[in-house]
């Protein structure tokens, strides 16, 4: 079967890379990617050169909040042109006759992307303060992309109130799953009452965290996984990155389990010239736990529905109670001191 897929892939890749005699030598699944499938491609060119590529396609079952591969690829192209350190986009194919589903291809980037390993293995990422600063700079480059953007017309108009739009979206997903989760409902009502304003929506990555970028021994090599990107509050990306649920056991290192949050802020503010809205970031940290809890339930549902049997998906669904406890702790009256919430 893989040989047949390689044969069908070769003409498409040859045209994209302007390499008529291209031959696909390796086509194999990559580890990682909890929502989409990633495949490694090794292509031999007629001049003796070799190209290492990654093919990204839908898993058998996905989640409602994930963008299509076409949309994700378009967003990554815009980010790449804006100077964000993304893998080089190679091309997108929506012809299901090639490998059975739409797919995107990008250049392979060397490095490690597993979140727990990055947080715990200090031989990776180089100087951790510098890594956090660089990540702040990359976020600022993403947030420099503002509407309107013709290639991103499918995103529509930015929400007038990104926080309330996110509350509404999460409620709709929860209702669609048929889940009764009082703690999440409490958190969403709290979020509704404390939502900060956002005068200038920007492009947001939507899943900017340790585990969705790659590092080598020296530092950052790529920002990955753009399937949740869209128009939104730039502080939401910072809150997501700093949320305790994404520190992988390094609770004292508030910037993604790798460094103090001040270092991330320093890089962001130096690149953007904009001030971090601390109260808004803290709000979006609460929202991060709510959103991750809903995503975890979606992932568990992929397994329970029978569409994609997976121990990993089943276990992901079981982390929701831990996230709910965090929400209740963070929204207790003694824990919250809003500075600019409505």
Q: For residue range 110-163, what is the model confidence (pLDDT) as tens digits? A: 999 999 999 999 999 999 999 999 999 999 999 999 999 999 999 999 999 999
Rounded to 10 degrees, what is the CA torsion of 103, 78, 285, 209?
Answer: 60
For position 342, what pLDDT does the model report? 47
Average pLDDT over residues 274-287: 96
Contact 37, 21 (CB under 8 A): no
8-39 tens-digit pLDDT: 899 999 999 998 889 999 999 987 655 678 99
Model confidence, pTM: 0.91
176: Cβ contacts below 8 Å, ≥ 6 apart:
64
Both tokens of residue 122? 């200090």
Average pLDDT over residues 280-306: 88
Query: What letter would DSSP give residue 196?
Result: P
- Comparing CA positions, the residue from 77, 203, 244, 214 lying closest to residue 135 is 214
For position 335, what pLDDT does the model report? 66
Q: Which of 45-54, 78-87, 108-117 has the lowest mean pLDDT?
A: 45-54
Contact 223, 138 (CB under 8 A): yes
Q: Which of 1-10, 136-145, 230-239, 321-330 has the lowest mean pLDDT?
A: 1-10
140: Cβ contacts below 8 Å, ≥ 6 apart:
267, 268, 269, 271, 272, 274
Query: What letter would DSSP give residue 245?
Result: G
Contact 145, 82 (CB under 8 A): yes
| Between residues 289 and 4, the one the model is more confident about | 289
- 229 φ, ψ (degrees, to nearest 5): -70, 155
**Whether the predicted pLDDT of 271 surpasses 60:** yes
For position 63, what pLDDT does the model report? 60
């Amino acid at each position: 079967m893989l040989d047949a897929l390689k044969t069908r892939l070769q003409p498409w890749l040859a045209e994209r890379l302007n390499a008529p005699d291209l031959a696909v030598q390796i086509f194999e699944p990559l580890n990682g990617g909890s929502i989409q499938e990633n495949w490694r491609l090794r292509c031999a060119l007629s001049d003796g050169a070799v190209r290492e590529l990654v093919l990204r396609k839908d898993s058998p079952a996905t989640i409602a909040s994930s963008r299509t591969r076409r949309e994700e690829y378009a967003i990554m192209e815009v980010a790449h042109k804006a100077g964000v350190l993304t893998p080089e986009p190679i091309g997108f194919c929506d012809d299901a006759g090639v490998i059975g589903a739409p797919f995107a291809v990008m250049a392979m980037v060397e490095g490690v992307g597993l979140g727990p390993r990055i947080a715990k293995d200090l031989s990776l990422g180089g100087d951790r303060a510098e890594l956090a600063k660089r990540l702040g700079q990359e976020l600022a480059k993403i947030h420099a992309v503002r509407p309107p953007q013709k290639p991103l017309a499918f995103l529509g108009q930015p929400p007038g109130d990104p926080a309330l739009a996110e509350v509404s979206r999460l409620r709709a997903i929860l209702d669609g799953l048929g889940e009764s989760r009082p703690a999440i409902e409490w958190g969403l009502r709290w979020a509704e009452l404390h939502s900060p304003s956002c005068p200038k929506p920007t492009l947001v990555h939507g899943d900017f965290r340790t585990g969705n970028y790659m590092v080598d021994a020296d530092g950052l090599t790529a920002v990955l996984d753009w399937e949740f990107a869209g128009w939104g509050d730039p502080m939401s990306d910072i809150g997501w990155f700093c949320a305790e649920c994404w520190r992988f056991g390094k609770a004292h290192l508030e910037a993604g389990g790798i460094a103090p949050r001040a270092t991330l802020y320093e890089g962001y503010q130096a690149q953007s010239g904009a001030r971090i809205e601390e109260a808004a970031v803290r709000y979006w940290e609460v929202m991060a736990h709510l959103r991750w809890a809903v995503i975890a339930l979606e992932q568990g549902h992929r397994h329970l529905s029978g569409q994609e049997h997976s121990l990993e998906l089943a276990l992901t669904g079981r982390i929701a109670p831990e996230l709910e406890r965090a929400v209740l702790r963070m929204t207790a009256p003694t824990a919250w001191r809003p500075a600019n919430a409505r």
